[in-house]
Structure 1
């Protein structure tokens, strides 16, 4: 399986020849809790988000990914937390990730059951430790009030 994955990564690299742009969101509910999703591929918690589709801007992608992965609606984007572009930040492919903090509203409800197995709101003091990819770093930067260009 590992060899097959390496071949797949090589093919993706040849097709795209450029990093893929994605967004992640730190969704803040009106009561201050932060929403995380549980990913199907690694069964770990993550910030909701995904790839910017052709013809979409970042704000439209934030709205779409929030709805698909959490069932929530975007109220407003509060701030840019960071841009993460290190080639090894995501083991699946080279992606540039734009992280934003956003006010959200609505009921938690997974729409994209192919990628997401669950959605849950957490108090700031009870964020789980089992976060996938580089989400621990992104949340650390967020809680530190930093704006990152990496």
Structure 2
């Protein structure tokens, strides 16, 4: 299984590079700050780098951002989107995602359900954190900043 996973990852990275060269435009994605009914924030641990991360991913062709948020949330955590509460920010630094140049739209969302790893190729672990127990170590991509901006009540364009 490990060799197949590595081959799949390698092909995906190659495909992303080719698309970047052909289209030379950033890819649009989402990050979700999922809030459980008890106020805890849900994070995932990524398989590719082992770091904690907000759930999220690329907006598919023909899909709007709210639909992508609900789909990515369910695909990565098993949780159901109840309501998108607020826009936290739009993050567009070319180096914010080590794989590709992506523009990330970050939203806070009320969620419900049972946390379960749905996509074992991307997610190793899911955990809910109280505000005072959020990981202090480096997170994937620029998710430390996204969470910091969220906690400060900011709406960021960066």
TM-score after normalising by structure 1: 0.92
Q: How many equivalent pairs are there?
A: 145
Is it true that 1:90 corresponds to 2:80 in the alignment?
Answer: no
Within 5 Å, give how 1:33-72 maps onto structure 2: 33-72=40-79
Residue 110 (structure 1) shift:
1.0
Residue number among 74, 84, 87 corresponding to 2:81 in the alignment: 74
2:45–2:123 contact (8 Å) kept in structure 1: yes
Q: Where in structure 1 are there 5+ consecutive unaligned residues?
A: none
* Partner SS for 1:43: coil
Q: How much is the aligned-residue C-alpha RMSD, in angstroms?
A: 1.5
What TM-score does the superposition give when structure 2 sets the normalisation length?
Answer: 0.88
1:11 match: secondary structure: helix
Measure how far apart 1:92 and its partner are.
Answer: 1.0
Which runs of 5 or more residues in structure 2 are unaligned?
1-9
**Which position in structure 1 is the counterpart of 2:147?**
139
Give the distance between the partners of 1:10 and 1:99, measured in 2 at CA. Answer: 24
Distance in 1 (CA, whole Å) between partners of 2:58 and 2:40 is 24
User: Which of 8, 12, 18 is residue 11 of structure 1 equivalent to?
Assistant: 18
Matched, 1:20 2:27: yes
Counterparts of 2:31 and 2:141, CA distance in 1 = 12
Asked if 1 retains the 8 angstrom alpha-carbon contact of 2:17 and 2:100, the reply is: no
1:120 alignment counterpart: 127
